[in-house]
Amino acid sequence: MKTTTKKTLEYLLTLFVIITLNFFIPRIMPGDPFTFVSSEENSVNTVYSDEEVARLKEYYGLDKPLAEQYGNYLKNTIKGDFGYSIYFNDTVLNLIGGRIVYTLPIALASLVLSCVLGCLLGCVSAYHRNRFFDRSSYLLITVFSQIPSFIIGIFFLFTFAGKLGWFPLSGAMTIFATYDTPLAQIRDILHHAFLPVLTLTLAHIGEFYLLSRNSMISVLSKDYITTAKAKGLAKKRVLYVHALKNAVLPIITRLCMSLGTILGGAVLIENVFNYPGLGTMMRQAITYRDYTLIQGIFLFFAVSVLLMNALADILYRKLDPRVAQ
Amino acid sequence: MKKVAKFFNKCSLGGKLSILFLIFLMLMAVFGTIFARHSAFIPSGSAFTAPNSEHFLGTDDLGIDLWAQLCEGAKLSLTIGICSALLSGIAGSFIGIICGYYGGVLDKIVMRISDILIAIPSLPLMIVMGVFFGAAIRNIILVLAIFSWTGPARIARSKVISLKEEKFIKIAESYGGGIFYLTFKHFLPAVFPIVMVSFIRLINRGIVSEASLSFLGLGDPTAKSWGLILNHAISFKAIYFTDFWKWWLVGPFAAITLTVLSIAILARDTEKFLNVKL
């Protein structure tokens, strides 16, 4: 019980620090939401007079002293009100909600894929330790996982989408398309999501591979595995029933913690593939100095990471009888 | 010098190749920018010139020489990688040594801070901080260092905690050796090899983070970084339908990939050579 309260306090403290950081960072940023001038095509530049700027600042509460703004911000954030985006003209929660439907599926899909593939490879690798398969896959995966994900993404985008034309260059579905059947629509969406998911999966396969390989190696040296082998059980049964069951614990906790890093990686990957998720919106928000939206997106990322860490903690306690006692 | 030669001999083939590549990269960064035939900032030919004897790697959409830009990028990446790793490695080691040696409330506070730093998703915050600090190189290095010192600090701390129970440390203390004496005479030499490996990995982290930030268009827009060249090349609308990618995209792409891989292999070989396990 005592450790639970301590852990909860820790998470609350971290959350508080994040909210505080989140409040101050955009306010020290150079630039101002009302003086943005764009040189891009198709954009209209609005120039405000001093009176208008003053009126807008008063309307958005930006003229109040910093301490008062901070107090209001804390109160509103805890109430779940993340504010109103100045550039997109909508509430931040709505905007995030509109984009998360694109980001979360690709993040979750690549999380599951990289976990399953990485674990399988890791298991086989551990079973054939120091043999050719283990050595080559270990080398390949450790080296490959060093390459930054957006570089892999650019490579895929260029070869498979650009040169070969197998996949679309950008977007999450064909614009203005009409579908004959729901199945065609699903196919179109999967077609667009394939490359981002593949990139994210490859970027994260390494950590699961290494973790499951290490975990399996230590489990395989245990006495109960020798017993199982001595009983004459099939290799597959020993590997997937006896060993994997015991090696899976660190993998489950890592699965929770990885969602955070995958969401972070998705920011980059979405910008490579122009996928309309949170990452591309974050880039727009930064270009337009949209304080509230940047705050909202960052807070969303931070809170989801914290929740996942907490979940990992809880699961670990629940699943491992040695820690639970 | 002898030690360096011994290290080189002990390296795997990949390790030797990566050391040679990294030396080449450093020469590129130092001499490539000083003795450049063309400017990396001012157009020196017509746009989209294919590689020829005049323009070693061709030119981009503004007619700026790409080899000169790659050299500038090498300088930038190496500066950011090495400086941020040095800063966080040195700061982290000292913080770790002090926390491990004294323990108590100070240790608890510092470890709590590092817990918080680890829990915050670094890339989104770095994106936000990159804008908030401005895009100058110095600021990118600072932001990276703020996020990276926790690794070396934890390593140094746990090493010192186990070290301070050793008899020779107890004896040195009883003869009146203070924290400075102990740090420079005993702790640093013991901590150095394990922090070294983490230092090499941090260089990679710095280079990758800089490339990611500038790829998103958040780096210094006037500096010529590899990520920024990629960003320009990808956002050039006709890149997929023309042949320009052969020299415009491949150069920075290969530069980032090879650099990151070489440093990773170097880190692995150093780990083996110094016989440390992180």
- Identify whether residues A129 and A66 lie together within a single domain: no
- CATH number assigned to the domain with residue range B11-37+65-274, chosen from the 4 options 3.40.50.720, 1.10.10.10, 1.10.3720.10, 3.30.2320.50: 1.10.3720.10
Domain boundary pick from A54, A78, A102: A78
Domain boundary pick from A44, A78, A112: A78
* Per-residue pLDDT at B203: 92
* Per-residue pLDDT at A46: 64
Residue extents of the structural domains in chain B: 11-37+65-274
Question: Is the pLDDT at A31 greater than 90, yes or no?
Answer: no
- Identify whether residues A140 and A259 lie together within a single domain: yes
Candidate ranges A154-158, B92-96, B108-112; pick with highest mean pLDDT = B92-96
Q: Which has more confidence, A293 or A177?
A: A293
* Per-residue pLDDT at A235: 80
Instruction: Give the span between the Cα atoms of A83 and A77, in whole angstroms.
Output: 8
Residues with Cβ within 8 Å of B238's Cβ and at least 6 positions away in sequence, in order, are B244
What's the number of domains chain A is made of? 2
The interface residues of chain A toward chain B in range 274-293, judged by CB-CB distance below 8 A, are 282-283, 286-287
Average pLDDT, chain B: 82
What percent of chain A is modeled with pLDDT above 90? 2
A308: contact with B, CB 8 A cutoff: no
* Per-residue pLDDT at B86: 93
- CA dihedral of A235, A240, A242, A243, whole degrees rounded to 10: 100
- Identify whether residues A175 and A316 lie together within a single domain: yes
* Per-residue pLDDT at B197: 86
Q: What is the ipTM of this complex?
A: 0.79
Q: Which has more confidence, A229 or A178?
A: A229
- Identify whether residues A69 and A96 lie together within a single domain: no
A86: contact with B, CB 8 A cutoff: no
Would you call B119 and A147 a contact, using CB atoms and an 8 Å cutoff? no
Q: What's the pLDDT tens digit per position in B240-274?
A: 667 777 777 888 888 888 998 899 888 888 888 88
Q: What's the pLDDT tens digit per position in A39-52?
A: 555 555 666 777 87
A171-178, long-range: CB < 8 A, 24+ apart: A171/A274, A171/A275, A171/A276, A172/A102, A172/A275, A172/A276, A172/A277
- Identify whether residues A249 and A144 lie together within a single domain: yes
* Per-residue pLDDT at B94: 92
Alpha-carbon gap: B159 to the closest alpha carbon of chain A (Å):
23
Q: What's the pLDDT tens digit per position in B144-164?
A: 888 889 989 988 998 888 888
Q: Which has more confidence, A83 or B70?
A: B70
Least confident of A28-37, A229-238, A307-316, B215-224: A28-37
Question: Rounded to whole angstroms, what are the CA distances from A14 to A2, B114, B147, B229?
Answer: 19, 11, 15, 37
Question: Is the pLDDT at A38 greater than 60, yes or no?
Answer: no
Instruction: Give the span between the Cα atoms of B21 and B26, in whole angstroms.
Output: 9
* Per-residue pLDDT at B90: 93
Q: What's the pLDDT tens digit per position in A247-301?
A: 777 888 888 878 877 887 888 888 888 888 888 888 888 777 777 787 788 888 8
Give the residue-averaged pLDDT of A83-102: 82
* Per-residue pLDDT at A56: 77
Average pLDDT, chain A: 80
Q: Please list every residue in chain B whose beta carbon sits closer than 8 Å to the beta carbon of residue A163.
A: 240
Name the E strands within A182-262: none
Residues with Cβ within 8 Å of A250's Cβ and at least 6 positions away in sequence, in order, are A211, A215
Name the E strands within chain A: 84-85, 90-91
- Identify whether residues A54 and A101 lie together within a single domain: no
* Per-residue pLDDT at B27: 87
B260: contact with A, CB 8 A cutoff: yes
Would you call A146 and B115 a contact, using CB atoms and an 8 Å cutoff? no
- Identify whether residues A238 and A264 lie together within a single domain: yes
* Per-residue pLDDT at B269: 84
Domain boundary pick from A78, A113, A137: A78
Question: Is the pLDDT at B59 greater than 80, yes or no?
Answer: no
* Per-residue pLDDT at B82: 92
Question: Rounded to whole angstroms, what are the CA distances from B94 to A126, B149, B154?
Answer: 38, 10, 11
Alpha-carbon gap: A239 to the closest alpha carbon of chain B (Å):
27
- Identify whether residues A277 and A138 lie together within a single domain: yes
* Per-residue pLDDT at A1: 53
Range of the domain at A194: 92-324
Secondary structure of residue A45 in the 3-state scheme: coil
Least confident of A29-38, A84-93, A156-165: A29-38
A13 pLDDT band (50/70/90 cuts)? confident
* Per-residue pLDDT at B277: 56
Q: Which has more confidence, A58 or B207?
A: B207
Would you call B239 and A162 a contact, using CB atoms and an 8 Å cutoff? yes
Q: Which two tokens stand for residue A2?
A: 């005592």
Q: What's the pLDDT tens digit per position in B113-124?
A: 888 787 777 777
A170: contact with B, CB 8 A cutoff: no
